[in-house]
Each structure stands twice: as structure tokens, then as C-alpha cells.
């Protein structure tokens, strides 16, 4: 097995990070009202990477 090969759990974890957020799970993760989560998702899109970055910048 090479260092660059991935095991099945690694692939599943990576794929899960690419599943778009839904408003309820996003709101729960960041402790915000669902209505605010919907507004943020509408503005920035459902990308987990973009939304996590936005929330990190907002909390800084």
C-alpha cells in the first residue's frame, strides 16, 4: 500500500465533506436560527467549504 492510496473510510470522509449543507444542519452546527442559515446559504451557496470559511471569518 502506498502513501498516496486511500482506504475506504478516508474516501467516505472526504466525500461527506462535499455534501452540501441544508439549512437545519448548518444552523445547528453554528448555533444560529434556521432563518439566518437559509439567508446565508442563499447568499453564499450550499458549499460546506465556503460556508465554513464564512462562519470562521465571521467569528474571528
At residue 13, the pLDDT reads 55
Give the confidence band of 11 by pLDDT, cuts at 50, 70, 90.
very low
**Mean pLDDT, rounded, for 39-47:** 95
**Mean pLDDT, rounded, for 3-23:** 64
Separation CA 3–CA 20 (nearest Å): 29
- Residue 31 region by backbone torsions, left for phi larger than 0, else alpha for psi between -120 and 50, else beta: left
| Domains of the chain by residue range | 19-59
Which range among 1-10, 16-25, 31-40, 51-60 shows the weakest confidence by mean pLDDT? 1-10
Q: Kindly report the CA angle at 7 between 26 and 15, in degrees rounded to 5?
A: 25
Amino acid at each position: 500500500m502506498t502513501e498516496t492510496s486511500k482506504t475506504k473510510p478516508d474516501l467516505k470522509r472526504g466525500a461527506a465533506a462535499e455534501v452540501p449543507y441544508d439549512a437545519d444542519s448548518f444552523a445547528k452546527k453554528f448555533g444560529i436560527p434556521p432563518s439566518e442559515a437559509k439567508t446565508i446559504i442563499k447568499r453564499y451557496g450550499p458549499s460546506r467549504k465556503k460556508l465554513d470559511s464564512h462562519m470562521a471569518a465571521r467569528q474571528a
